[in-house]
Amino acid sequence: MNVLIVTAKALNSSDFGGVEEPFSLFEQWFHEARASEPNDPEAMALATVDADGMPDVRMVLCKGFDAGGFVFYSNEQSAKGAELAATPKAALLFHWKSLRRQIRIRGSVGAASAAESDAYFGSRSRDSRIGAWASQQSRPLESRASLEAEFARYAEKFGGGDVPRPPHWRGFRLTPRTIEFWRDGANRLHDRLAFERVGDAAWKRTRLFP
């Protein structure tokens, strides 16, 4: 097992192309997934825990990533919002079947900036923006007709004007503590490469048994 501290210096290793830190490799794999996946290459599973410690998982869309973390958007009054408010830690999983690869990420979760949230909300279609107002996400719904009536009510309220971002709708940023890359290998001899943050500019790099 190969363990080392990764800094800005180049690695003398051929593992995964001698990658120095996880973000450049993530960007490469994500770019390749966008070219090969038939649907939603940005889809990722988001795992949280509730007040009883029961795990909860659902698919969300990654709408931004950089060295600061991975960003997704939601209603903070939803189940995931309440769980993250109580326990601001989570795990992400990207799985790209076309490439036979996956990436696991764990870390702490905080709020994306209001400017980030406003910019992304403004990029959504008008109907999607109205839908964010109409849906009381995760709460009981009497019927589909009730949801459609709420949508119609907000569409009338905003008329032809701007649809602002609801105060309860915002971005979340997961700052990774660990990132693990997995790719399929013959005879179940898969490749696994894990990174653990050990400082602002350093990562511990570990190759794992499959």
The residues annotated with a catalytic role in the active site are: 188
Q: State how far the Cα of 18 lies from the Cα of 39, in Å rounded to an integer.
A: 30
The first and second tokens of residue 13, run together, are 């290793």
Long-range contacts of 181-185 (CB under 8 A, 24+ apart): 181/16, 181/22, 181/25, 181/26, 181/29, 181/101, 181/103, 182/101, 182/102, 182/103, 182/104, 183/99, 183/100, 183/101, 184/100, 184/101, 185/210
- What's the CA dihedral at 32, 33, 34, 40 to 10 degrees? -170
Q: State how far the Cα of 36 lies from the Cα of 142, in Å rounded to an integer.
A: 40
- Three-state DSSP at 95 gives strand
Report whether 44 contacts 93 (CB < 8 A).
yes
